[in-house]
Amino acid sequence: VQLQASGGGLVQPGGSLRLSCAASGFTFSYYTIAWFRQVPGKEREGVSCITSTDGDTYYSNSVEGRFTISRDNAKNTSYLQMNSLKPEDTAVYYCAADLITCFYYEKVEFDYWGQGTQVTVSS
């Protein structure tokens, strides 16, 4: 089982990035996918979640309206489109997968995790 997060980088405030999470080794379409982020010294924060069946999406208040989560089950990949980025979005972003719903996803320890990709928003 592997989740490979990519697409991070350095971007100016107001800019955009699209993160990808490529999955292998399990039936991707069965799994709920979530994105988390973490800043050193702070707790991990749930950013967004998308369910396996209906594709229902959930967002934290801090990213609602700016970030969009999606998935392409044919490509075994999830995406996190991040627009209007702010310096406070700077963090390492992780994708995770589990056979659960998105309810309380931010408090759940997902079964599978990617290695993280750094996003830095700075001028």
> Taking residues 13-29, what's their average pLDDT?
97
Report the C-alpha gap between 27 and 47 in whole angstroms.
Answer: 23
Residue 79 clears pLDDT 90, i.e. is over it: yes
Tell me the pairing of strands 67-72 and 77-82: antiparallel
Residue 55, pLDDT score: 87
Whole-angstrom CA distances from 82 to 9, 11, 41 are 12, 11, 23
Instruction: Tell me the per-residue pLDDT of 36-68, one tens digit each, with 9 for 90 and over.
Output: 999 999 999 999 999 997 889 999 999 999 999
Whole-angstrom Cα distance, residue 86 to residue 56? Answer: 25
Residue 40 phi/psi, 5-degree rounding, is -50, 130
**Mean of per-residue pLDDT scores for the chain:** 96
Q: How confident is the model at residue 83 (pLDDT cuts 50, 70, 90)?
A: very high
Q: How far apart are CA 97 and CA 76, in angstroms?
A: 12
